[in-house]
Structure 1
Amino acid sequence: MTRKDSLPVTDAHAVKVTGVSRIFSIKKKPPVTALESVDLTVAPGEFVSLIGPSGCGKSTLLRLIADLDQPTAGTIEVFGKTARKARIDQDYGIAFQQAGLLPWRTVRANIELPLELHKVGTAERRSRSTELLELVGLGDFGDSYPDQLSGGMQQRVAIARALAESPNLLLMDEPFGALDEMTRERMQNELIRICAETRAAVVFVTHSIPEAVFLSDRVVVMSPRPGRIRSVLPIRLGGPDDRSEHIREDAAFFDGVSAVRESLHGTPDTGNARGVDTR
């Protein structure tokens, strides 16, 4: 059972990428094709990780979904809307590798920033930030400042801020990449719990195979530039309640890691022996 199994049935994809390419023009140099003919769908409530070698275009794809850049060819829909309309409607939250907190604002004020920018009233902002502080396990730190927090705590604040407007989609670009391994695993556990509670779909960029397998319903393996989807691998580790730290010692976890590693090295399985799924 995956996170999406408990969601209402809907025909709309959380994300639908169709025939997307992105070519960058560089002055006095040949154009660089970052992405070529990418097709991908993400279901509501589904956690999908993008993994591939450096420069394969996975962060570019995330930026296109977020409407931080535009494709050279192809279309992107978020809950049936254009990426631009989804951004305007605040249908997604976004978190990057660096937390990007404003040092002069308290933790609570950082979380409330998106609500403040959209003219949400003071009482409603405070109620929502209190709810989110509890959700990310920082209920006692609302009046602290970012420089008083550890790196992992700062990332939890950034995730809370991304959730402030109750988005149905989270876009995450290596949010734990700068953390030590122990903190990173704790944050993975926290993210599993948060996603189970919010039921948001997630598109997650990572360089870590174990991280992708632990977190995901499906792992999208991308080829070296120009970035194409090499394979899409379902991960069968059960629902969020099953994905405790102990699952990392489970045979199914090691099978998932092996399948992703094989695909990354250019030897994806043929057929459906490991459940290769290209939907």
Structure 2
Amino acid sequence: MTAGSGSAGAVPAVDVHSVGRVFAGRRGASVIALDGVSLTVAPGEFVSLIGPSGCGKSTLLRLIADLDVPTSGNIRVFGKPARQARIDQDYGIAFQQAGLLPWRTVAGNIELPLELHGVDRAGRRARGAELIDLVGLSEFAGHYPDQLSGGMQQRVAIARSLAERPSLLLMDEPFGALDEMTRERMQNELVRICAETAAAVVFVTHSIPEAVFLSNRVVVMSPRPGRIRSIVPVGLGDVTTRGEGLREDADFFRSLSTVRDLLHADEHGDPSGDDRPGPGLPRGVETR
């Protein structure tokens, strides 16, 4: 299944075409993680990937990031092969764990990608200060990671992913380890950051409310082998203007129900579910 968004003729931020990924197993067995996945993400668009555990959503993100290579099909990022996009630093990436260096301060962690790519000291300091202000940590620039809360550490990780002004952010459950209140605050922060940077985002999550709140479109994936079951447009207005009140909006709850029904389709014997795991809910998906 394929779907896209954006103006005709624009070079997509991400163009995934008929991608499959097969992992070799023990004793000659193999695991099909992804099968025939096609997806287009427009510049500036926020797209979330959601599905049961093991459906291949993180694998797809890793393929886009050139941290792995597809067994079949191809991926282009801003019209380039994924490997070239990585070399050109066209994207930033953030994972569930912030992955900060404990011996470097907030400023030092954020400036690290710039240092590695030869940016001079003055340039690093200026860009670092700009990003520290963007994520609201100006008072903590000289602090070390163990002096920060989990949410603050994730803000540093997001700022670091933006250091080289990427036009694309790849995010793999960046808020998954946070408590619910901190998680919602970080979602609000991410909306603000996206508004200021205009970056496209591909965002992996297990949380339906998170996917709906953040996204222009939600990509619902089937159980392994991972395929795109459906792509849900989220008709809640411009993502960059969404606020806390949206979580109580009737359209928000309608979108939640649509995504939830698609995720639970196998339970009800949906004929579109080619890979039904049997009775029971798909595991690993938050419906709060």
Measured in 2, the distance between the counterparts of 1:178 and 1:165 equals 26
In the alignment, structure 1 residue 170 sits paired with structure 2 residue 172: no
| Cα contact 1:17–1:40 (8 A) shared by 2 | yes
Q: Secondary structure at the match of 2:73?
A: strand
Residue of structure 2 in register with 1:52 after alignment: 51
In the alignment, structure 1 residue 124 sits paired with structure 2 residue 123: yes
Residue of structure 1 in register with 2:159 after alignment: 160
Letter in 2 for 1:190: E
Q: Secondary structure at the match of 1:33?
A: strand
Unaligned runs of 5+ in 1: 271-279
- State the Cα RMSD in Å: 1.6
1:233-252, CA deviations, whole angstroms, 9 ceiling, x for partnerless residues? Answer: 00011124541111000001
| Cα contact 2:194–2:240 (8 A) shared by 1 | no
1:77-104, CA deviations, whole angstroms, 9 ceiling, x for partnerless residues? Answer: 0000000000000000000000000000
Residue of structure 1 in register with 2:148 after alignment: 149
Residue of structure 1 in register with 2:255 after alignment: 256
Measured in 1, the distance between the counterparts of 2:147 and 2:187 equals 22
Normalization by structure 2: what TM-score? 0.89
| Cα contact 2:169–2:199 (8 A) shared by 1 | yes
| Cα contact 2:49–2:219 (8 A) shared by 1 | yes
Residue of structure 1 in register with 2:279 after alignment: none
Q: Which aligned pairs between 1:121-270 and structure 2 lie closer than 5 A?
A: 121-240=120-239, 242-266=241-265
Unaligned runs of 5+ in 2: 273-288
| Cα contact 1:193–1:240 (8 A) shared by 2 | no
Q: Secondary structure at the match of 1:140?
A: helix
Residue of structure 2 in register with 1:276 after alignment: none
Deviation at 1:27, TM superposition (A): 3.0
Q: Secondary structure at the match of 2:27?
A: coil
Deviation at 1:208, TM superposition (A): 0.1
Residue of structure 2 in register with 1:91 after alignment: 90
Q: Secondary structure at the match of 1:28?
A: helix
| Cα contact 1:50–1:220 (8 A) shared by 2 | yes
| Cα contact 1:101–1:146 (8 A) shared by 2 | yes
Deviation at 1:74, TM superposition (A): 0.1
Identity of aligned residues (%): 72
Q: Secondary structure at the match of 2:49?
A: strand
